[in-house]
Amino acid sequence: MRKATIYEISFNENREKVQTLLKATELIKLIKNSNRDKILIKPNLVNASPPPITTPYWLVKELVKFLKENLPGAEIIIADGTGELDKDTLDLFEIHGYFKHIKGVKFLDLNYEPCIEITLKNGKNWDKMHLPEVIFKSFLISVPVLKAHTLASVTLSMKNMIGVCPPKYYQQGGHWKKSAFHQNIHEAIFDLNCARCPDFVLLDATVGMASSHLSGPKCNPPINKILASFDPVAIDAYGATLLGKNWQDIGHIYLADGILGNASNYNTIKVKI
């Protein structure tokens, strides 16, 4: 498999650096060549907790600004499907400041979007999955946060895709709308990304959650990076190392290596102002 590239830039509270990072990639070229008429941005809005547990609005805002400047007239969608039982995703867009600060885009709650059935030829956990049709019609950009996870070891770009899964098919009781993923979580994440993998990843590694995805200590010192890549497997492997973990010990990354991306062979380009 071709060697992957990860772009990284140091962050020091200068949000304009996101524009510099994105310009260093070939994101616009890839979108134009994708022949998709929509761009769907998928943050991590798992619940009402503030960043770094969830994706900050300002990072998505900078991404939207870049897309609008370089692709005028493009239809841009910001979409997620929260796991909160007592809130809908649109509630979380409001709570986290997305409605207030980001204009001229469409917001979607993927928990309620029409789905299509996807057959998995070599599924590890499922033979088929039901997923929102819109994610297949769109150029899909995952905007996760750098976090450890109590079940999956890390939650980065591939784990972030769980948010697209509708509760109608993936809530099996419990306190979370996607609780079907709690069983065989690594195989389930792998299957999901076989069905639909992100086309591009913009990873918020400005702070990082050191030991858990919902609570506990932040990374100390903060990681102070923002990363981008067209290879979700590579960027997740690199993100794991930033959290002090070996990607080969993380089941969904190990399963995806050489199939959905390249965890074992990537280079890192440090972008400078």
3-class state of residue 9 by DSSP: strand
Q: Which CATH superfamily is domain 4-270 in?
A: LarA, N-terminal domain (3.40.50.11440)
Q: What is the pLDDT of residues 152-162, one digit of tens each?
A: 999 999 999 99
Euclidean distance between CA atoms 141 and 146, whole angstroms: 16
Burial 216-231 (b: 16+ CB within 10 A, else e): eeebeeebebbbbbbb
The encoded tokens of residue 156 equal: 């980065």
Is the pLDDT confidence value at 272 over 90?
Answer: no
Count other C-beta atoms under 10 Å from residue 121's C-beta.
Answer: 6
Helix or strand (DSSP H, E) at 143: strand 138-143
CA angle 109, 114, 116 (to 5 degrees): 125
Q: What is the pLDDT of residues 24-59, one digit of tens each?
A: 999 999 999 998 989 999 999 999 999 999 999 999
Euclidean distance between CA atoms 190 and 229, whole angstroms: 18
Please choose, from the candidates 152, 245, 146, 140, the residue with its C-alpha nearest in 3D space to the C-alpha of residue 197: 140
Q: What is the pLDDT of residues 116-147, one digit of tens each?
A: 999 999 899 999 999 999 999 999 999 999 99
Q: Is 13 left (phi over 0), alpha (psi -120 to 50) or beta?
A: left
Q: Return the pLDDT at 13.
A: 76
φ/ψ (deg, to 5) at 154: -140, 155
List Cα–Cα distances, 7 to 94, 118, 182, in angstroms: 31, 32, 32
CB 233 within 8 A of CB 205: no
CA angle 102, 28, 78 (to 5 degrees): 30
Euclidean distance between CA atoms 256 and 16, whole angstroms: 33
Q: What is the pLDDT of residues 70-82, one digit of tens each?
A: 999 999 999 999 9
Percent of the chain with pLDDT over 70: 100
Question: Could you write out the DSSP letters of every residue in 218-242?
Answer: BPSS---EEEEES-HHHHHHHHHHH
The encoded tokens of residue 262 equal: 């390249």
Q: With a threshold of 0.85, does the pTM exceed it?
A: yes
Omega before 52 within 30 of 0, i.e. cis: yes
Euclidean distance between CA atoms 104 and 73, whole angstroms: 10
